[in-house]
Structure 1
């Protein structure tokens, strides 16, 4: 809306993207902290832009939680620098291997894990459903696709490149956190009858599933986790846009107060249906290949319980998204075109582009997978990155 746009909405979107790109590209752990803060400061403004009561209530909780986690982040960076004497990630990897204080480094590693778990909604996700359902649809969709994924990326980067000295402790803790996250996220997704809350809890389920890749620490699982991460960024953004369109049409978030929209908006309905099946991992859609490789990794490393939880969470995803589809699009049509609160004009084009990307990730897996597999191989062999940064040993 124009009232929000004139308060520098587009400028803060650019700051948010800057923070995300900087977090992905930096090779220095202090710069990672800085870019996280750039991203978070922009998200604080975007979350509260408009000044609605629910935005301010969710914004206070979101800001406080991230301030505490950022404070712990800078403390953890200071401890790590005190032990290793460097902040360059490649150099940190070498110094951690040479350091003679494994217990202290394990404590620092667990502190970093808690910090990034809060930022990615891994187990500590109590802030996410309220925060992601408060802002306008365009902001919620961007948050759903990007913000938590930066925290997941940081976990992958830290625990493959730097903290690999005690995988029996750190990766076991990550496995427990992934399993509990999927269980609790599934309960929330099934229990709620609010579109935005259901979709928010599906973000939580996906975070737990993606982190299985680093928990089992096996190349096939890592490949699948990266592929599923890319797919999830696209499909979650799409689902939040489609869910926002549904809310805009009927003027309510409650599923029990809507039905029959497929009669007036068949394209919207079938896009939601396809996106839901992609999220579950129905072949040949984009979620299938990544999910298959992650589950294959759990079987090969004998993480059977984690694999079973991942499969059961897929059923929770299917049930919760079909609940939205059946309640929102099926049944008796309650609204005529004239009664609709807003229009979908202009929204269907970006949704169409996103669903095309999702279909390409599923059907074109043979073209995409070599790049994803190479990324997973480099994560499993940090010497490749170290040599690229520091030169030959």
Structure 2
């Protein structure tokens, strides 16, 4: 399909703009105000470009050959409905969190970021997220994850406290383990097929030996499962995220695990459409839901409570993927969009609670509803959305998953339906416990007199409003998710966009080597 040239020019911008701005911000490290302006301007332009791609990709995938080297020789950036939707939501969240962090700096009595490296690193993180969503080959996806790892480790250890260094060390070891597994999977994939281009892999993998194909699938699922914090690969998350500054925790919780979920969706639907580990994924989804929420119920610190709910609700997304149907995939995509927004919002609100109450421990908080009623509303709305109270977007996403689970009617899907309902009720219990203790119980100690900074409240309010907008715009959004799911369930749509008119599908030196090896084996 032919697209206006303007749409094609938008595709590299979410990657290129933040990287360029990061270099400029680093060069201006002595000028914090200039860093602020550059960072906000860059992410605003990225959001505008993402919205343009969201509109353009609704007519079909938009493919850009980096450096004018056509696939499979060159690297492709592909913006389809799923990647454009993820880009748009993540860009908005990144911009709001950046504005929140600027407001936090002003509220602390200075006009600087925590350190001069904060803005360049944050922009590099944004570029890594965009690169992962747009990548058209496995190795470039790996590069996107490595950009995320490098930037996130710096952000996680900002301030250099012992607690943050310890948590950052756990995080980086686990992330490196995931990266090594991913790199091994890429090497084996290239050895088996002679390519790492996703579209070309979609055509070559069906011809690979079933045992080898299963090994590749398991390795990729293991690598992405660690990044997405699927049980039992999620133990690292509750110990790593709560120690970081509020803006860092918020963007980590909202986005980084969803990049892993996105990678699972992309590879499972495109590379292994007829050989999926659906039963394994369903069991993992059920265990992730139930064990994650039981961990949340046991917590007495809001940050750790939300970290465990983050793990738990990843299970809903995996549930939709595992059902291997268009309806299940659409519900999963809708739920990913909802969860990115709501989880980020809640962690930003917790940052405000910590500032106003002096702690995130529920034993040390109380009476916030009386002294900060606006903060009570900012917490209550996304909290109820996370719990899935009707008619909010969390409820709509869960209903879509439950309907498809009931429609499939297998014993395992029924078990997941029951597990989903139990998880939702326990989420409500955990959230209401936090709500009652933080806002309604008598404060055990006198609360600090620190007010709630407007520069931090504004971006948080914008995200709360965006979460409500997902409810009011649920019809068009769900319809878009259904169209995205339809594309995913038909891999030929993606392949034909990357290789129009069958051009280049069989090209590549590596494929010739594979054929020579096969011929040599026959001769021997």
Q: Identify whether the pair has TM-score above 0.5, normalized to the shorter chain.
A: yes
Match in the other structure for 2:253:
144
User: Separation in 1 of the partners of 2:464 and 2:357?
Assistant: 23
Match in the other structure for 1:297:
404
| 1:108 aligns with one of 216, 223, 230 | 216
Match in the other structure for 1:28:
137
Q: Shift of residue 336 of structure 1?
A: 6.4
Q: Shift of residue 341 of structure 1?
A: 4.7
User: Separation in 2 of the partners of 1:330 and 1:122?
Assistant: 34
Q: Shift of residue 344 of structure 1?
A: 3.5
User: Separation in 2 of the partners of 1:385 and 1:392?
Assistant: 13
Alignment of 1:57 onto 2:166: yes
User: Separation in 1 of the partners of 2:362 and 2:453?
Assistant: 19
Q: Shift of residue 369 of structure 1?
A: 2.0
Q: Shift of residue 283 of structure 1?
A: 2.0
Q: Shift of residue 251 of structure 1?
A: 1.8
Tell me if the contact between 1:129 and 1:200 (Cα under 8 Å) persists in the aligned partners.
Answer: yes
Q: Deviations over 1:11-60 (max 9, x none)?
A: 11100010000000011110000010001100000000101111011011
Alignment of 1:346 onto 2:445: no
Q: Deviations over 1:45-81 (max 9, x none)?
A: 0000101111011011111111111111111100011
Q: Deviations over 1:228-268 (max 9, x none)?
A: 10010011010001112112222222101111101111111
Q: TM-score, normalised by structure 1?
A: 0.96
Alignment of 1:200 onto 2:307: yes
Q: Shift of residue 86 of structure 1?
A: 0.8
Tell me if the contact between 2:364 and 2:445 (Cα under 8 Å) persists in the aligned partners.
Answer: no
Q: Shift of residue 316 of structure 1?
A: 1.5
Alignment of 1:119 onto 2:230: no
User: Separation in 2 of the partners of 1:165 and 1:146?
Assistant: 29
User: Separation in 1 of the partners of 2:246 and 2:423?
Assistant: 26
Alignment of 1:185 onto 2:292: yes
Q: Deviations over 1:324-378 (max 9, x none)?
A: 11000112355767x3356333221111111111111111112222211111111
Alignment of 1:308 onto 2:418: yes
Tell me if the contact between 2:133 and 2:262 (Cα under 8 Å) persists in the aligned partners.
Answer: yes
Match in the other structure for 1:326:
436
| 2:489 aligns with one of 368, 372, 380 | 380
Match in the other structure for 2:116:
7
Alignment of structure 1 residues 90-105 onto 2, 5 Å: 90-99=199-208, 101-105=209-213
Match in the other structure for 1:254:
361
User: Separation in 1 of the partners of 2:318 and 2:177?
Assistant: 23
| 2:187 aligns with one of 57, 74, 78 | 78
RMSD of equivalent CA atoms: 1.5
Alignment of 1:209 onto 2:316: yes
Match in the other structure for 2:14:
none
User: Separation in 1 of the partners of 2:273 and 2:304?
Assistant: 36
Match in the other structure for 2:468:
359
Q: Deviations over 1:200-239 (max 9, x none)?
A: 0010011111111111111111111101100100110100
Match in the other structure for 1:173:
280
Tell me if the contact between 1:242 and 1:268 (Cα under 8 Å) persists in the aligned partners.
Answer: yes
| 2:352 aligns with one of 245, 248, 258 | 245
Alignment of 1:229 onto 2:336: yes
Highest CA radius of gyration, 1 or 2? Answer: 2
User: How many aligned residue pairs are there?
Assistant: 389
Tell me if the contact between 1:48 and 1:59 (Cα under 8 Å) persists in the aligned partners.
Answer: yes
Alignment of structure 1 residues 158-169 onto 2, 5 Å: 158-167=267-276
User: Separation in 1 of the partners of 2:211 and 2:399?
Assistant: 36
User: Separation in 2 of the partners of 1:341 and 1:132?
Assistant: 25
Partner SS for 2:366? coil
Distance change >3 Å, CA 61–CA 333, structure 1 → 2 = closer
User: Separation in 2 of the partners of 1:114 and 1:301?
Assistant: 26
Q: Deviations over 1:174-199 (max 9, x none)?
A: 11111111111011100010111000
Match in the other structure for 2:390:
283
Flag structure 1 segments of 5+ consecutive residues without an equivalent: none
User: Separation in 2 of the partners of 1:40 and 1:173?
Assistant: 27
Q: Deviations over 1:153-183 (max 9, x none)?
A: 000001000022422xx12111111111111
User: Separation in 1 of the partners of 2:418 and 2:500?
Assistant: 43
Flag structure 2 segments of 5+ consecutive residues without an equivalent: 1-104, 503-524
User: Separation in 2 of the partners of 1:321 and 1:7?
Assistant: 36
Q: Which moved further from structure 2: 154-163 or 357-366? A: 357-366
Tell me if the contact between 1:223 and 1:290 (Cα under 8 Å) persists in the aligned partners.
Answer: no
Q: Shift of residue 6 of structure 1?
A: 2.8
Partner SS for 1:233? helix
Tell me if the contact between 2:346 and 2:382 (Cα under 8 Å) persists in the aligned partners.
Answer: yes
